[in-house]
Amino acid sequence: MDSKIRKFNVTVLSIPIVYDFFGDHDPNGLMYILSEDKEKVKEKAMRNFNNKDENEDPLPIPTDEVQPLTIRVNVGETIIIEFEHDEDRRLSINMHGLKYKNIKSDGANVGYNEDSTVGKGEKITYEWYADREGIFYFSDMGDTRFSEEGTNIHGLFGALIVQA
């Protein structure tokens, strides 16, 4: 029996991420986002970030849609992610805990593995198998530095929820 295929087009949105109503934010925020939602969320987030109030100091305000990408699928389904972005660095999606089709679906450029990261304007297809229930974390393995120059520290992570 062939499994059902769930296909998602994912990209990266680079925006200031506002954490609270006190104006705390990361000016270098990054987030995975479904490609079809990118412009709508970017417009709303930038409007909230540039909040102008005539009576008070203008503080950036959070945007509900600015949060880690969460994808839901069912056990037994195949997940196909078409990933491309317009950032000036190599990025990827590395899924933790699920089986993948081939080493290029690992999303990590390590050792002698074939490079599964993409640069600006490039595209890659990742394919994973939802063989069991659970919540599976994914993140960028194209720039794993744990400093301000890295990507995960600025929000480039998400979760895949596999349900029965």
Task: Give the three-class secondary structure for 48.
Answer: helix
pLDDT exceeds cutoff 80 at 108? no
Give percent of the chain above pLDDT 90: 71
Residue range 20-34: average pLDDT? 95
CATH number of 5-163, picked from 3.40.50.20, 1.20.140.10, 2.40.160.40, 2.60.40.420: 2.60.40.420
Order of strands across the sheet with 69-74?
69-74, 157-163, 134-139, 94-95
The domain spans of the chain are: 5-163
Mean pLDDT, residues 125-144: 92
Mean pLDDT of 73-82: 96
Q: For a pLDDT cut of 70, what percent of the chain falls above it?
A: 88
C-alpha 90/C-alpha 84 separation (Å) is 10
78 versus 113: the higher-pLDDT residue is 78
Secondary structure element (H or E) that encloses residue 116, with its range: none
**For residues 146-161, average pLDDT:** 89
Would you give the end-to-end CA distance of the chain in angstroms?
A: 17
